[in-house]
Structure 1
Amino acid sequence: MITRLTLVNFKAFRRLELTLGPLTLLTGLNSSGKSSVLQSLGLLRQSFEDTELPRADQGLLLNGELVELGSARDVLHDDFGPADELEDLGVTDTPAVAVVVEADGEPFSFVGRYDAEQPDEDVMETLVYPTLPLFVREPFQYLHADRITPAVTYPRSRRIAIDRGFLGVRGEHTVNYLRHFGEREIPDGPLRHARASSPQLRDQTVAWMQELCPGVNLQADPIEGTDSVRLSYGFGGTAGINATRRRRPTNVGFGLTYALPIVVACLTATPESLILLENPEAHLHPKGQSRMAALISAAAATGAQLVVETHSDHVLNGVRIAVKRGNLQADDALVHFFRGNGSGAEVISPRMDKDGMLAQWPEGFFDEWENSLDQLLD
């Protein structure tokens, strides 16, 4: 598990040191650096996932399946400068970015050299330790805020969904994954929904989706003679997948289809998993956002690690409720609030106690409801 992440000269940060836990919520204003944290981890994964040993000539791959960061010019912080992390690795005479990951008690440093003569290159020469952290090869999901929208068909790729078990950054391979692995059982524990008709992934997915939309059920079918699969919804109160009248996603709305990859990613989490989520609350009503937080907390309680970017106070409160109910340990839920300070971004980290209470509530931290109420009552 990753316990600490340090970014040096990376995008919005001259230097950022961030503690990570089983469940880490990243909150704050837009363009304050939250996404950069997720992107840095995605960058390492796409650069070294397929290698046994890191090679300096392989480099940091700025554009790939997981993240598209542009060129080295886009990644290097505007006010870049030296740092202890760089000097310790002997990098003192060239501009560079660094991502330092502390995992299982050991630091791993990835340094990308900035070549001023080729600032528009999308590969940065790297200097790293001779071994790679396990997280670049362990089960992994990264779901962007821009996820799949309701459609008639979705791709059917054996290599991505079945061989790699990857849902795609937009969740585009979720339907095929569910079609193939639907009979797998969810282990007994926090993730297994008590009201599901069986412990199988298909029925567990339906049960959690019913938390977002009561009575819904879903079905994933291959389309013969094509490389596509079809998703359909039914409504009838059953906890199974059978229904007499099926509805295509385009006639149901955004919320269910947008949430489906998040649900499947959480349900299939293992103690070795690293899951990065952007805005899991998107297109969900407040109750659905709270229940989504319960699912995310349950995934963390199984031993998986989740880093979640959110703008929702309902997600925050859902995690706080999970802590208060004892479904997640307080020390396992970390909250980081990002806000601009004029020259970059600063991070405030309110501590959560066992009752779900936060030690501090800084200005701008989910206080708009109170601000609006004050204006209404004025």
Structure 2
Amino acid sequence: MITKLSLEKFKCFDKKQDFQLSKLNLFTGLNGRGKSTVFQSLLLLSQSLIEKDNIEELFVNGNFIQLGLFEDIVFSLGENKNQIVKFYINTDEEYLQAIELGYKESSERIGKISYMKINEIDYFQTSTSIQHTEKTTGERRLSAYPKETINNFFKDYYFISADRLGPTLYEEKGNKYDFNPVGILGEHRLNVLAEDRATNNLLFDEDAGTLLEEVNKWLDYIMDGVSLEIQGVEKEISVLYLLLNNHQNKIKIKAVNSGYGYSYILSIIITALLAEKGNVVFIENPEAHLHPRAQARLTEMLCKLAMIGVQVFVETHSEHIINGTRLFYLKHKADFSYKDVSMYFFGEDFNVEKLEMDSDAQISNWPTGFFDQQEIDLAEILNLGLFK
């Protein structure tokens, strides 16, 4: 598990910005203040490892994220071409407790590694070759580093983008899986469900069944009496159809006629059930197109996912997600500590503040004017209505 992340000269963060991380990590605050940047830093490293099989070069445009050019991810690169983007990562892994990585722009305008430290060992050495003294003395080069250990640590990442696909009529069969079997946008969700594989992920109860069965348990719970079925699984059929069963009205409807909420949440549920202990899951705006009760119940799932050993990162603007997390802790104190949750608020001038939750689930430094907007609006309604 990643226990601490620090970013320096990466996108909006000029000076070193620290993030103390836990099992469940919630990032909230104003728009365009750096929440996505935290996600992108880790996804960028994972993407580079998967695409290049090493971390010696940053792969800024891939299946996870597309960030443009290297100069686009460096804080004020135009002012100083020698700026170095720095990533500091601490983990609870015995053989990978601390990682420091630095990248700078090369002559090819790509991000090349300029220094690497792992567990305080500097893997960039000054070359003093006698045969090539004039060319190599004083130059720094990367020596052998624990590549497999690094690769394994950044490999099992799942990412559900805020730009998820809405309702679709059907999906072509295939195995177009990339980093996330469901797809970054949820584009392969029906293919995954059609396989109806067994799952050992005990997020719902002690009797885990097939993936489709577990998805239906959570869908029924979160969305109040809804389940799904897949049609078109026979070999001769080339497309898959998703039907939603509304148990209250006893009707079946095609997913394309169901609204965005079902399609958006389906990708999250499937990904959560596929994730295993030690994996890392990133979810942008899980509350999208969900009513408050569904948001609260989805939060239970995310908390349970963190509780079984999957590290969860959530970007949200929903007070129902925040309060749902607090409530889950109070109900599950025996298995879930308030220290298992990290919350960060991103405010004006890119100021980042860690929200401090105590053992009573109280937050001592609740940001003024953000989650209390409802009370502010109600007070103004009363003033303009009753007391005019």
CA offsets, 1:106-127, max 9 Å, x none?
A: 1212322124x65xx4x41124
Residue correspondence of structure 1 range 234-249 to structure 2 within 5 A: 234-236=245-247, 246-249=252-255
In the alignment, what sits opposite 2:244?
A: 233
Alignment of 1:11-30 (within 5 A): 11-14=11-14, 15-30=16-31
Equivalent of 1:337 in 329, 342, 345: 345
Q: Which moved more, 1:148-157 or 1:289-298?
A: 148-157
CA-atom RMSD in angstroms: 2.6
Deviations 1:308-346 (A, max 9, x none): 0000000111101001111632100111000122xxx11
Paired position in structure 2 for 1:60: 58
Which ranges of structure 1 fall in alignment gaps of 5 or more residues? 83-92
Which residue in 2 is equivalent to 1:90?
none
Asked if structure 1 preserves the Cα contact closer than 8 Å seen for 2:168 and 2:256, the reply is: yes
Q: Hey, what does 1:184 align to over in structure 2?
A: 198
Shift of 1:165: 5.9
Change (3 A) 1:159 1:254: closer
CA shift at 1:218, angstroms? 0.6
- For 1:226 and 1:153, the matched residues in 2 are separated by 12
Between structure 1 and structure 2, the one with the greater Rg is 2
Please tell me whether residue 109 in structure 1 is matched to residue 117 in structure 2.
no
Distance in 1, matches of 2:55 and 2:27, equals 32
Are the counterparts in 2 of residues 269 and 304 from structure 1 also a CA contact under 8 Å?
yes
Distance 2:78 2:336 in 1: 39
Distance 2:348 2:78 in 1: 17
Matched, 1:124 2:122: no
User: Partners of 2:352 and 2:77 in 1: how far apart?
Assistant: 18
| Structure 1 Cα separation of the partners of residues 38 and 173 of structure 2 | 31
- Aligned partner (choices 313, 326, 329) of residue 307 of structure 1: 313
Q: State the secondary structure of the residue aligned to 1:171.
A: coil
The range that moved more, 151-160 or 290-299, is: 151-160
- TM-score scaled to structure 1, two decimals? 0.84
How big is the shift at 1:184?
A: 1.2
CA contact (8 A) 1:218 1:234 kept: yes
The correspondence for 1:170, drawn from 173, 185, 194, is: 185
Unaligned stretches of 5+ residues in structure 2: 118-144, 384-388
Question: Aligned partner of 1:65: which letter?
Answer: N
* Deviates further, 124-133 or 25-34: 124-133
Tell me how far apart the structure 1 counterparts of residues 38 and 47 of structure 2 sit (CA, whole Å): 15
SS of residue matched to 1:125? strand
Instruction: Give 1:187 shift.
Output: 4.3
Q: Secondary structure at the match of 1:168?
A: coil
- Quote how far apart the aligned CAs of 1:39 are: 0.8
Give the corresponding residue for 1:89.
none
Identity value in percent: 29
3-state SS of the aligned residue for 2:351? strand
Distance across 1 between alignment mates of 2:238 and 2:71: 39
Scaled by the length of structure 2, the TM-score of the pair is 0.82
Q: 1:225: how far off?
A: 5.1
1:68 Cα offset (Å): 0.4
Does the 8 Å CA contact 2:52/2:59 hold for their aligned counterparts? no
Give the secondary structure class of the aligned counterpart of 2:4.
strand
Q: From the superposition, tell whether residues 100 and 356 of structure 1 become closer, same or farther in structure 2 (CA, over 3 Å).
A: same
Q: What per-residue deviation string (whole Å, max 9, x for no partner) do you get for residues 37-90 of structure 1?
A: 1111110111002666x353xx100000000001122111127999xxxxxxxx
**Match in the other structure for 1:10:** 10
Verify the 8 A CA contact 1:165 1:177 in the aligned structure 2.
Answer: no
- The aligned residue for residue 135 of structure 1 is 153
Tell me by how many angstroms 1:212 deviates.
2.8
| Residue aligning to 1:88 | none
1:153 aligns with 2:153: no
**Secondary structure in 1 matching 2:216:** helix
Aligned to 2:386: none
CA 1:80/1:287 → structure 2, altered by over 3 Å: closer, same or farther? farther
For the residue of structure 1 that corresponds to 2:9, the secondary structure is strand
2:330 and 2:98 map into 1 onto residues whose CA distance is: 33
Question: Are residues 1:96 and 2:81 paired?
Answer: no
Q: Give 1:262 shift.
A: 0.7
